[in-house]
Structure 1
Amino acid sequence: MSNIAVDLHEARENDPSTQRAVTAFTSAMRILWSAFPDGAWRDSADLVRYDTEQPTPRFNGVVVLGPEADEESASQWLDALAGRGLPYCILSRPSAPEWVAGLASRHHLDRVEHEPFMIHSSPAEVVVPQGTVISRVDPEDAGEVALAQQLFADGFEGPVEVLGSLMTAEVLRLPEMEAYVGRADGQPCTTGFGTLTDGHVGVFNIATPPAYRTRGHGHAITAAVMAAGAAAGAHTAYLQASEMGYPIYERMGFRAVELWPSYYPAE
């Protein structure tokens, strides 16, 4: 997020609405990780340790959620991941303790990204634009599951064998998880993923392959995820924005409430 200005709206330390959204986010991730056959998700005070056995840094590491996080526990977990040959990262909230940057440096996580955590307080008011035909992915339809996985991989320009693990039939059978595919003129053009926990709808995996970008498909699939969540009882939506997606989400009414310093291996 180094190339655009992020406007932090109503950002306050220990803001209750932000804390509730972050709690919903960690709840959703805990449920999602339960669908990984070899995955692990371990909570302790202000610290999450997780892995998926997948060879991409974002899928393994630690999340430092607050000042009570234990440095030794985080370091031991990263050492264990390194010993197993898994790449990893550190995600951290702004309230994380000062040792996080030093831990990242010792583990050669030298690429720092500041990832906006964004909230929308009225998902039911978001209008799904016409023009992109959006359907929910049936987890029992192997073809639609594979299509969503491929769109996700193409949109993020990564290997479907790795990225597709976030949108398997096993994941989509979880009652809190749903995926969607969008089509334009009958052609698949975008995908998105929603989670429903604690009255919040999480918006994830919004991905549009390069050939279909700048046509409003990302906006449409995001709105559809929010609308489905609101129909199921969600009063708030949240997401973590990429540099590409941030302007779209801001125009839709999301506000950035925190910037999360996140540490990755140098490319």
Structure 2
Amino acid sequence: MLGTAAGEDHPARHNGSVTTIAITNQKGGVGKTTTTVNLAASLAANGQRVLLIDLDPQGNATMGCGVDKHGLELSVYDVLMHGAHVEAVTQRAQDAGFDVIPANADLTAAEVELVTASVREHRLRDALARVKHDYDYVLIDCPPSLNMLTVNALVAADSVLIPVQCEYYALEGLSSLLNTVTRVQKTLNPQLRIEGLLRTMHDARNSLTNEVSMQLIQHFGSRVYATLIPRNVRLAEAPSHGMPALVYDAASRGAIAYLAAASEMLGRHGKQSTVAVPESTAAVAGD
């Protein structure tokens, strides 16, 4: 399931402004990787030039894009630790219209090696400087922990998108993450901001889900995306086929919800969505 070479069928390149978004939550199991892969596909469907960076040693985003993590000659590890050029490592996501810098278990070593490395917090940012005019969006799938890989993502990013599952411990985990973002702002990346909170695995039939959802809105106001990502079988199945839900089943509620989230993101950035989101999206938030 190897992806094709990066850049094939790529929209015309221009010297635009790239937006780099770290997608992270120190709490696992909240749909972080699902969000990264499906937002990348949905933004690409809207004509945006997208690069997905897998910074999780598990390599789930890599596999979810149709790139075989076991057959990599070069990975994001080589970018961070050996100075490999981003262009040499990048692959094309299978049938999804965006580029991927893949990861595999080699990245586990980087977690340790970066601790004693020089210029350790800025390696990803510096590597991306070479390709900043080639993309409209760079989405970084972070590991579910605060380590030097996550710090590299936060230093490279313009903003942080936080997927949140509406459950009892959601707010507790958010507090820890927001403290981390504040520390990075103060010491390493003063321009870093919160992109927003995206509610995932939403089930409107669950009273606790609705209660936590309202608490998030009370605490964070307009930072909470209006779009709700539902629990959806197709979203769960798509990664095993090496493709985003939009490619696997474009009519599924999960695929439609991420199209709506991408449209909302584009609107927040002053851009026009070019893909009509089906009317059934209204039901995504409520059924």
Q: Same fold (TM over 0.5)?
A: no
> Relative to total residues, which structure has the larger helix share, 1 or 2?
2
> Relative to total residues, which structure has the larger strand share, 1 or 2?
1
**How would you bin the TM-score normalised by the shorter chain?**
under 0.3
